[in-house]
Amino acid sequence: GEIPFGYIGKDGKVTGEAPELAKVIFKRLGVDRVQPVPTEFGSLIPGLNSQQFDVVAAGMYINADRCEQVLFADPDYQMLDSFLVRKGNPKGLHDYEDVVAKKARFATGTGYAEIQYAVEAGYKESDILIVPDQVAGLNAVEAGRVDVFAGTALTTRAVVKKSAKAEATEAFAPLVKGKPHVDGGGFAFRPTETKLRDAFNTELHKLKKSGELFRVLRPFGFSKDEMTELTAKELCAG
């Protein structure tokens, strides 16, 4: 599992924004008991399509490749980027274009999409410091080894809370091919389960409209920046 999307809590029970949201929506659909099946991320889509479980509740990013394999509900959150910088943001870094223009020393995590966002803005890939995760990124910023670490707004906010030396910048959408790019995650269903997906979407949109969705997600670190009106159709189209 992955915090804060879906993981096993200290009490040994499955929790996270997606499992908790699943309980709320399926109860509204008349399903009082949701049985979680902890599964490695790479096995989620194969397990769904082989009927090991009925829905993927893991905050899965919706993209064109996955849309060819499963049926997504509309996203329950969107994900913007943010930087970890020294307190006061002395270099004035607010987006990838700033990083390039000000020749800032830049770091991000292993396999992060932020690598490509920086390269897209003109940063030389071989100059990027790759670290294991956001904790290592924070350490690099605090120690002065880099000027900036890039990650999702959700994770940078969480990791910097107790830092006396660093802060997270305002969330922003990186540019991809000259256009702002926003990722979004949601629940996945088997391609044959159109009726179930549509019923799920109906309840999801009611929760969005009432503000209840934000109340469910907020304990897991989500802010109003992560609330979205994007659709699965838009994200599937790339």
CA 78 to chain centre: 7
Q: Per-residue pLDDT tens for 137-165?
A: 999 999 999 999 999 999 999 999 999 99
pTM value is: 0.83
Which residues share a beta bridge with 2?
6
pLDDT score, position 2 = 77
Please check whether residue 153 is in contact with residue 227, taking contact to mean a CB–CB distance below 8 angstroms. no
Task: At 157, list the tokens.
Answer: 């906010």
The band of 238, judged by pLDDT with boundaries at 50, 70 and 90, is confident
Tell me if residue 205 falls in helix, strand or coil. Answer: helix
Q: Per-residue pLDDT tens for 176-231?
A: 999 999 999 999 999 999 999 999 999 999 999 999 999 999 999 999 989 999 99
The band of 12, judged by pLDDT with boundaries at 50, 70 and 90, is very high
Of 190, 223, 187, the residue nearest 204 (C-alpha):
187
pLDDT at residue 30 tops 90: yes
In whole angstroms, give the CA distance from residue 68 to residue 71: 8
Single-letter amino acid, residue 238: G
Residue ranges and CATH numbers for the domains of the chain are 7-77+184-236 (3.40.190.10), 81-180 (3.40.190.10)
Q: Per-residue pLDDT tens for 95-105?
A: 999 999 999 99
The band of 3, judged by pLDDT with boundaries at 50, 70 and 90, is confident
pLDDT score, position 111 = 85
Please check whether residue 145 is in contact with residue 131, taking contact to mean a CB–CB distance below 8 angstroms. no
